[in-house]
Amino acid sequence: MGKGEEKMKGIATVWLEVLAGIFVVGLVYIIMSYVLYGQITPVIYPKLAAINETVSGVNVTAMQTTINIINVVWIVWPLIFIFGLIFWGIVRSQKREYETAYG
């Protein structure tokens, strides 16, 4: 096997790792989105409404702002992670192989 074939094997491995990472992030995002939007959010919003109606002096808008920030972060984090993986794949596949005196 020549040096060119070994380098191509390393590049293929890098991109397989990137694809595996994207698959895992997608799987975790789908599963945890079901938990967040199907299990947690329906419980939180009625309690916020009940707190707003029964207790005076509670800053519900701060809680609502926090929930909105959590929702935005939940939507954006997979994109940041996937673009980071792609950037890592590009940088890693451009890495030069070490040259030795022995061939």
13-53 pLDDT, tens digit each: 899 999 999 999 999 999 988 888 888 777 877 777 777 66
92 vs 7: CA distance, rounded Å:
11
CB atoms within 10 A of CB 56: 6
Q: Which residue has the tokens 């997608």?
A: 26
The model carries a pTM of: 0.69
Q: Which residue has the higher pLDDT, 43 or 58?
A: 43
Closest by CA to 78, choosing from 34, 16, 29, is 29
Inter-helix orientation angle 60-93/3-35, to 10°? 170
37 vs 59: CA distance, rounded Å:
23
